Amino acid sequence: MFRIKTLNKISPAGLSVLDQTRYSISGDVENEDGILVRSADMHDYQFPDSLRAVARAGAGTNNIPIDRCSEAGIVVFNTPGANANAVKELAVCGMLLASRKITEGNAWVKAQLAEGADLEKVVEKGKSQFVGPELSGKMLGVIGLGAIGVQVANIATKLGMTVFGYDPFLSVDAALSLSRLVHRAMDLDTIYKNCDYISIHVPQTPETKGMINEGAIHMMKGGVRILNLARGGLVNDDDMLAALESGKVAAYVTDFPNNKILQGKNVIAIPHLGASTPESEENCAVMAAQELRDYLENGNIKNSVNLPTLVQEWSGVSRLCIIHRNIPGAIANITGVLSKDGVNVENMTNKSKKDYAYTIVDVGSRVNDQVADEIRALEGVLRVRLLNH
Ligand SMILES: NC(=O)c1ccc[n+]([C@@H]2O[C@H](COP(=O)([O-])OP(=O)(O)OC[C@H]3O[C@@H](n4cnc5c(N)ncnc54)[C@H](O)[C@@H]3O)[C@@H](O)[C@H]2O)c1
Ligand SMILES: O=C(O)CC[C@@H](O)C(=O)O
């Protein structure tokens, strides 16, 4: 029986991927084999020795201590693209909210009602204070052209916007999905200096943290509208508050409100609803559960942020799954143990990702725990699992 701990509410469609006769799933499970998580902060989480994988039903993994997981031989998965459509739709909504003063108008109408006004009379008189510009003909800058950024850029061209996208690490898949109408910005300054709307779609990392700061805002056009549906820490709150106060930034749409930023004027705060659609919650949960299942049952890795993709067809009766450091001699040491113990390799694949590597070895005879223990003792080996078919 595999034990799966859920740290957030996970869509039932995802949980149903895991056969109830083989998986025990709950928020209270101890000594878990796997974790399913959304945005719960895991930085202080004490990993039990039993933990083999964490599957994040979503894109951002800044809530997970990736380095600590890697060192403990724990595979971290996410679900690329599974909620991108939901965020794209919210980005369109955010641009409109930032333009058309809908939230202010709505609050005003309700206030009129509370004061006993005849709404049909006051609406026509009062509406002039809520005039806001159209999107068509304006310039949008999209920072980060991944699963979400590409979709935001593409749909904005259909709204009549001129779109510039910036991503120094643009993947081939993303480039192929990008509309030919989207202009590629070669630096951030091009986005900052020219755009009426800027939408951020990058992960929060030490490199991107606080990237929207005084220096960046200084380069922007007066009255720029900024959307942050990516992560709160990408924007320096003090600098944003000053820019909202001066009017340099006309509106700031954030999916990551905090007590400080809410003090600013023209802040449109959304309670982290980017991926909160039934469709996205289901897509993410199903993908995360499938990744977890394939790793726990077969040792296959797909969509991991800390280990390479490695999917191998079964071709023996026992399978050794070895997470190790990406160092010279690691594979020779593993095969050395196998040949010393008389174990014949049927099939073997090794892949690496930065400092870590993963090796799957299928063998034609049943391997005993002693062989696995000898591999565990090798230099640089972080985790060995022995699976039997
Ligand atoms: N509000 C929400 O509910 C919600 C939902 C999904 C994702 N997100 C956030 O949005 C982020 C993006 O999601 P995604 O699915 O598009 O991820 P993704 O990995 O597909 O795309 C991220 C892109 O950012 C690019 N990038 C990285 N560093 C960059 C930099 N310094 N400058 C420019 N580009 C850079 C990468 O090359 C990549 O193409 C996630 O990391 C997450 O934090 C939020
Ligand atoms: O789980 C969620 O609701 C949000 C997920 C989102 O922030 C992500 O990074 O995918």
- CATH numbers and ranges of domains, the chain: 1-82+278-302 (3.40.50.720), 84-269 (3.40.50.720), 307-389 (3.30.70.260)
CB 316 within 8 A of CB 346: yes
Residue 60 Cβ contacting ligand 1 at under 6 Å: yes
Using the predicted structure, report yes or no on whether residue 19 has a pLDDT greater than 90.
Answer: yes
Q: What is the pLDDT of residues 259-304, one digit of tens each?
A: 999 999 999 999 999 999 999 999 999 999 999 999 999 999 999 9
Using the predicted structure, report yes or no on whether residue 52 has a pLDDT greater than 90.
Answer: yes
Q: What is the mean pLDDT of residues 155-166?
A: 98
Residue 202 Cα: closest atom of ligand 1: 24
| Residue count (the chain) | 389
Choose which residue among 272, 273, 286, 303 to substitute to test ligand 2 binding: the one with the highest number of ligand atoms within 8 A of its C-beta.
272
What is the rounded distance in angstroms from the CA atom of residue 181 to the CA atom of residue 57? 32
Return the ligand number nearest the Cα of 84: 1
DSSP 367: P
* 77 — pLDDT class (breaks 50, 70, 90): very high
DSSP string, 269-280: E--S-TT-SHHH
Supply the residue whose CA is at minimum distance from atom 6 of ligand 2: 58
* 101 — pLDDT class (breaks 50, 70, 90): very high
| Partners of 54 in the β-ladder | 35, 76
Residue 240 Cβ contacting ligand 1 at under 6 Å: no
Using the predicted structure, report yes or no on whether residue 386 has a pLDDT greater than 90.
Answer: yes
CB 142 within 8 A of CB 163: yes
Residue 39 Cα: closest atom of ligand 2: 1
Average pLDDT, the chain: 98
**What percent of the chain shows pLDDT beyond 70?**
100
Instruction: Tell me the backbone φ, ψ of residue 306, rounded to 5 degrees.
Output: -120, -10
Using the predicted structure, report yes or no on whether residue 255 has a pLDDT greater than 90.
Answer: yes
* 389 — pLDDT class (breaks 50, 70, 90): confident
Residue 367, C-beta contacts closer than 8 angstroms, at least 6 positions apart: 318, 320, 343, 386
What is the rounded distance in angstroms from the CA atom of residue 357 to the CA atom of residue 330? 9
Q: What is the ipTM of this complex?
A: 0.99
Using the predicted structure, report yes or no on whether residue 330 has a pLDDT greater than 90.
Answer: yes
What is the rounded distance in angstroms from the CA atom of residue 33 to the CA atom of residue 247? 52
Q: What is the mean pLDDT of residues 222-230?
A: 99
Using the predicted structure, report yes or no on whether residue 356 has a pLDDT greater than 90.
Answer: yes
> Which of 282, 361, 349 is CA-nearest to residue 319?
361
Residue 388 tokens read as: 């039997």
* 104 — pLDDT class (breaks 50, 70, 90): very high
Ligand 2 cavity residues, CB under 6 Å: 38-39, 58-60, 83, 274-276
**363 alpha carbon to ligand 1 midpoint, in Å?**
40
Return the ligand number nearest the Cα of 87: 1
